[in-house]
Amino acid sequence: MADVQSSAPDSQPSASQAPSDLVARIVAAAARSWGTSPSQVAVTGMARRTWPDARLGCLPDRRGAEPSPIGGWEVVVQAGTRAATFHTEGDRRFVECPAKRRGPII
């Protein structure tokens, strides 16, 4: 599972599209994980989401996170037969979210 952090983004998101630098970092993380080139990874879905807490709707509940809505994005990428869903905290931190661990969206 990728958990990547970086500095604040340079681009501003539109109402329906995450910032391009955030998407590029997600594509690069998927490509590294799959051992392929970022040019082989396509974004197949993207939507604004509000997660119920800092686990971003997909991390295991180890200690019980305090409820605190967090805005972010759900970004789906694919390369060949591989696909992955990433959840973001705003335009900074993102995690790969295995399908079996996806939790609620509020």
Alpha-carbon Rg for the chain, nearest whole angstrom, is 13
The topology (CATH level 3) of 16-59+69-101 is Nuclear Transport Factor 2; Chain: A, (3.10.450)
Residue 2 confidence class, pLDDT cut points 50, 70, 90 = very low
DSSP 23: H
- Taking the alpha carbons at both ends of the chain, their separation in whole angstroms is 23
Tokens representing 7 are 């500095």
pLDDT tens string 7-48: 333 344 455 788 999 999 999 999 999 999 999 999 999 999
Measured in degrees and rounded to the nearest 5, phi and psi for residue 39 equal -65, -15
Query: What is the residue extent of each domain of the chain?
Result: 16-59+69-101
